[in-house]
Amino acid sequence: MILLLVFAVTYWIWSNWGLITVDVNGKPLAEVIRSIEKQGGIVLKTNMDPAKPVNMHVFKVPLTEAMEKLASITDSRWRVGYLFGPDSSTLKVALEAYGTSGKRPEGWKNFDVPLFGRPGSEDEVVPMDPREDTWNVKEPQEKTLQGFMLAAATGVSASFTCPESYNPAVTKVPSSGQIRKAAPQLAKIAGAKVQEVFFLMGRPPRVAESDQNRDRDRDDDGISGGPRGRGGPGGSRGGGFTLMRERQLAEIEKLPPSMQKSAKAEFEEREKFFASLRDLSDDERRAKFSEYMNNPANQESMQNQQMKGNERNSPEQRLAKYQTYVARKQAIISSRQSQ
């Protein structure tokens, strides 16, 4: 009986390991974050008010699903990042900066290449865990820590951050595999320390944002900043688009062979369309983009993506998300009318 009891307890712990249960009404965001950190065994940082009241009800769900719920409830976005530094104390200071301001520490550089849609993911309901994303390592031209960090950012759905002045040589190529394993391997080869961090970033107020502000939130490489921080090693704006193209192609390479051909054809068609907009006037560009958005096939694809996201939300959360969207649009319209 004792053995059976021990087995039952062990099995219960094993079967529930990493699953998240949050059942709160009006609890502070900080309390919800602490609960998710403890249950998921993660570090979670946010730039939102820790006293923000949260209503959240999930029972034994995967960590990624819990993060999706929390992001929907708080009108925010979440992602996974890896902080690299020369020692543990440097990483500790960086984590404290994220914990107090929710922003990347001064003097730190971020590598993050956006992915616009995940090819072949229309049937995916539970979001993929970014830590399990496969990094198919390709040796970069610059054989340094930052060179490999940029290569990783081009290959997986995670961000990579380190002090700008810290860039040791990497004498050995890490093995391809899940980024949660490949990142520590890269750090070990470079003689660095690494910390995995989850980020829950509230949407910044962007009411009637001017072109000047948009330009200020970009690096020279054209990769957007915002919640992800600013990415890339610099260079021309075209270089940023090249990185984003490589990011999309890297994702297509992970699909089953039977899906790669159609996914690549869809990507090339979309790429061709956006390339056709570059030499148009503003009015012509808006008209052509409106035509693209009103295309029934494109609308169906966007609706499928939206429905997939809504399946993770309760009716109350869907209503709250819609009300937030309407309020944001009304604020933008009011601001433009007052100018």
Together in a domain, 35 and 158: no
Together in a domain, 131 and 233: yes
- Which of the four pLDDT bands, split at 50, 70 and 90, describes residue 9? very low
pTM summary value:
0.72
Number of domains in the chain: 2
113 falls within a domain: yes
- Which of the four pLDDT bands, split at 50, 70 and 90, describes residue 210? very low
pLDDT > 90 fraction of the chain, expressed in percent and rounded:
45
Sign of the torsion formed by the C-alpha atoms of 115, 312, 68 and 218: positive
337 falls within a domain: no
281 falls within a domain: no
Together in a domain, 187 and 68: no
d(CA 68, CA 72): 6
Together in a domain, 66 and 95: no
Domain boundary among 33, 49, 74: 74
pLDDT of residue 166: 97
310 falls within a domain: no
- Which of the four pLDDT bands, split at 50, 70 and 90, describes residue 249? confident
pLDDT at 215 over 50: no
Together in a domain, 143 and 98: yes
What tokens appear for 301 in the block? 């694809």
Q: Which residues contact 128 (CB under 8 A, 6 or more apart)?
A: 64, 118, 121, 157
Domain boundary among 233, 259, 285: 259
Together in a domain, 196 and 217: yes
Domain boundary among 43, 74, 105: 74
pLDDT of residue 119: 61
User: Across residues 124-129, what is the average pLDDT?
Assistant: 59
Together in a domain, 69 and 127: no
pLDDT at 247 over 90: no
Together in a domain, 49 and 152: no
- Determine contact, residues 99/217, Cβ cutoff 8 Å: no
More confident site: 148 or 283:
148
d(CA 158, CA 114): 9
Together in a domain, 129 and 226: yes
Helical axes 257-275 vs 237-253, angle rounded to 10°? 160
d(CA 240, CA 103): 22
Together in a domain, 162 and 98: yes
pLDDT at 145 over 50: yes
- Determine contact, residues 201/227, Cβ cutoff 8 Å: yes
318 falls within a domain: no
Domain range enclosing 50: 15-74
pLDDT in tens, 289-316: 788 778 887 666 666 655 555 555 555 5
pLDDT in tens, 58-116: 999 999 999 999 999 998 999 999 999 999 999 999 999 888 877 888 999 999 988 76
